[in-house]
């Protein structure tokens, strides 16, 4: 039987390292493009201040990049150490984007970041500018390939289960590559990274203006961050809408959980602006609703209903029955590989095999599961509704706040009013919000997929390695200590160079 402690500890360790690594990814994405913009202005205008800006923000980018690399490498090793069956089951598909990311994107970024720092006196202006944009390109390509892999976990296309190898195998890499869920996640995540980089620059520029330091650099950085940040924040909202539309097509349980919607909403569905979901009573209390809005976001129509959790659980119940038939056929094929009837049965019900595997939590013999066990497995398809409900609203609230903040910053920039101390304080104190929004978005994306590690294909609890709880407790404790030290180093270096300022940072 599955050891629930091993599953829980494996999830805690991977979730902790992923959340920590994701603190560095958005800032890397945003700062890399901002560096390209600043250096482009320097090459066009020839003004030395823009060169100083690029070098100063580049130092902070380099610190963040190093920490991102240190935390990202450990995550990939965990697929083998903590999630060995997952790596075996889908490695033919999942491993390809990660390998391409390493060869195409990471090596590109890592190579040119050295030229960025040490090439100022060795390269021409045009050559160094090209290097800076290649660093930005590498960062974005890295995100692209990782999100192609993650998008396939959310919406597995271009692959099929092979009963002879007992693994998922690629059938159409083009579908994997151009998976609409992956593409939507990429542009949404990258735009969120641009917001993070912009607010990082805006907040530190506001700090310098409050301290009456580095006025020339701070005012220009403030202006670039305000303009780029507003464009990025608007993009996040638009692209988030596209992600919601695709999720309603492919991950309806996630949408229902995000909305705390237990019963199916007749068209056009209302959106729960606020409420209090209760997993025990299967209700959401004290809701404030906006008519039509959910229907427009999720279905882009006023005629299609949005399915509720209870109806989706009933659908899962039926699919589990089909999965039991597929599982029985698979067992027959293992005994008699030439059994055409069993292969035809598996072909008919194979799309629901993963639902049958949900029963492995309750019984080794899936085909003999009781009705009570099937009901339990069907309800297992419901993620943690309160966490998703509130995480989503934190993310969205931050998104709209960023739009308002950048609009105000841009207005003050046009008026050349960099002396509004109340706004400078607001910008400075808003510093942590992009990371809060990014982490909340990660929770929505990943916890919303539960109980699946691959949506509808492989339950999370089946993907783990055969580790002991003692080994996992040790590794979790080790990661907590290591990452705490790395966090202390990151904060120390960032604070040190911000305090030194652009005058002394070089």
- What's the pLDDT at 66? 86
Phi, psi angle pair for 289, to nearest 5°: -115, 150
3-class DSSP state of 278: strand
Burial status of residue 49 (CB atoms within 10 A of its CB: 0-12, 13-18, 19 or more): middle
The set of residues, in sequence order, having a beta carbon less than 8 Å from that of 363 and lying 6+ positions away, is 369, 373
The set of residues, in sequence order, having a beta carbon less than 8 Å from that of 246 and lying 6+ positions away, is 155, 180, 181, 184
* Cα separation, 328 vs 350, whole angstroms: 11
Residue with tokens 């094929």: 333
Question: Consecutive sets of 10 residues in the chain, 506 residues long: mean pLDDT of each?
Answer: 85 89 90 96 95 94 87 81 90 87 78 90 93 92 90 92 92 92 90 96 95 91 96 87 71 90 86 90 89 80 86 96 95 91 93 95 91 95 94 94 96 90 95 94 90 93 90 91 89 91 69
CB 35 within 8 A of CB 130: no
CB 255 within 8 A of CB 240: no
Residues written for the chain: 506
pTM over 0.75: yes
CB 495 within 8 A of CB 64: no
Kind and range of the H or E element at 420?
A: none
The alpha carbon of residue 424 and the mean position of all alpha carbons in its chain are separated, in whole angstroms, by 30
Residue with tokens 């400075």: 428
- What's the pLDDT at 294? 80
- What's the pLDDT at 506? 55
- What's the pLDDT at 162? 93
3-class DSSP state of 162: strand
Domain extents for the chain?
16-251+386-452+479-504, 259-382
CB 54 within 8 A of CB 35: yes
The set of residues, in sequence order, having a beta carbon less than 8 Å from that of 244 and lying 6+ positions away, is 255, 297, 298
Question: Peptide bond preceding 379: is omega within 30 degrees of 0, i.e. cis?
Answer: no
* Residue-wise DSSP of 230-292: HHHHHHHHHHHHHHHHHHHHH-HHHHHHHTT--SPBPSSPPEEEEEEEETTTTEEEEEEEETT
Give the pairing of strands 167-170 and 271-278: unpaired
CB 317 within 8 A of CB 359: no
* Cα separation, 505 vs 497, whole angstroms: 6
What would the two tokens of residue 320 be? 């589990």
């Amino acid at each position: 039987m599955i050891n629930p402690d091993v599953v829980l500890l494996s999830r805690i360790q991977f979730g902790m390292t992923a959340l920590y690594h994701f603190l560095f990814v958005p800032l890397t994405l945003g700062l890399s493009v901002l560096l390209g913009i600043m250096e482009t202005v320097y090459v066009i205008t020839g003004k030395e201040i823009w060169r100083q800006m690029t070098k100063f923000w580049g130092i902070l980018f380099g610190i963040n990049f190093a920490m991102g690399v240190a935390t990202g490498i450990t995550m990939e090793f965990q697929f083998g150490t903590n999630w060995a069956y997952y790596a075996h089951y889908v490695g033919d598909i999942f491993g390809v984007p990660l390998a391409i990311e390493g060869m195409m994107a990471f090596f590109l970024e890592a190579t040119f970041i050295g030229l960025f720092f040490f090439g100022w006196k060795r390269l021409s202006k045009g050559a160094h500018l090209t290097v800076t944009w290649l660093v930005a390109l590498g960062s974005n390509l890295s995100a692209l390939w990782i999100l192609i892999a993650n998008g396939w976990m959310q919406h597995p296309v271009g692959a099929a289960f092979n009963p002879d190898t007992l693994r998922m195998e690629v059938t159409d890499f083009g579908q994997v590559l151009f998976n609409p869920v992956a593409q939507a996640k990429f542009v949404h995540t990258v735009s969120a990274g641009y917001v993070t980089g912009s607010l990082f620059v805006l907040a530190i520029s506001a700090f310098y203006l409050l301290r009456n330091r580095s006025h020339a650099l701070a005012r220009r950085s403030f202006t670039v961050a305000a303009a780029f940040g507003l464009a990025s924040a608007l993009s996040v909202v638009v692209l988030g809408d596209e992600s919601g539309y695709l999720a309603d097509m492919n991950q309806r349980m996630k949408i229902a959980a995000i909305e705390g919607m237990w019963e199916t909403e007749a068209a056009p569905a209302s959106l729960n602006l606020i409420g209090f979901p209760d997993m025990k009573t299967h209700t959401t209390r004290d809701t404030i609703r906006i008519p039509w809005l959910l229907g427009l976001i999720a279905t882009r129509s006023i005629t299609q209903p949005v399915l509720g959790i209870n109806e989706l659980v009933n659908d899962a119940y039926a699919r589990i029955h089909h999965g039991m038939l597929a599982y029985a056929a698979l067992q027959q094929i293992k005994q008699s590989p030439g059994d055409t009837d069993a292969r035809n049965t598996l072909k008919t019900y194979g799309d629901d095999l993963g639902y049958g595997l949900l029963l492995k939590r309750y019984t080794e013999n899936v085909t003999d599961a009781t009705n009570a066990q099937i009901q339990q497995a069907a309800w297992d398809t419901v993620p943690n509704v309160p966490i998703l409900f509130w995480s989503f609203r934190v993310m969205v609230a931050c998104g709209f706040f960023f739009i308002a903040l950048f609009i105000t910053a841009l207005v003050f920039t046009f008026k050349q009013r960099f002396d509004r101390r109340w706004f400078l304080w607001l910008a400075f104190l808003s510093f942590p919000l992009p990371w809060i929004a990014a982490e909340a978005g990660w929770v929505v994306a990943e916890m919303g997929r539960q109980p699946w590690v691959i949506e509808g294909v492989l339950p999370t609890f089946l993907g783990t390695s055969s580790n002991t709880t003692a080994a996992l407790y040790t590794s979790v404790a080790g990661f907590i200590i290591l990452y705490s030290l790395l966090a202390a180093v990151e904060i120390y270096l960032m604070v040190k160079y911000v305090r030194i300022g652009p005058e002394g940072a070089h």
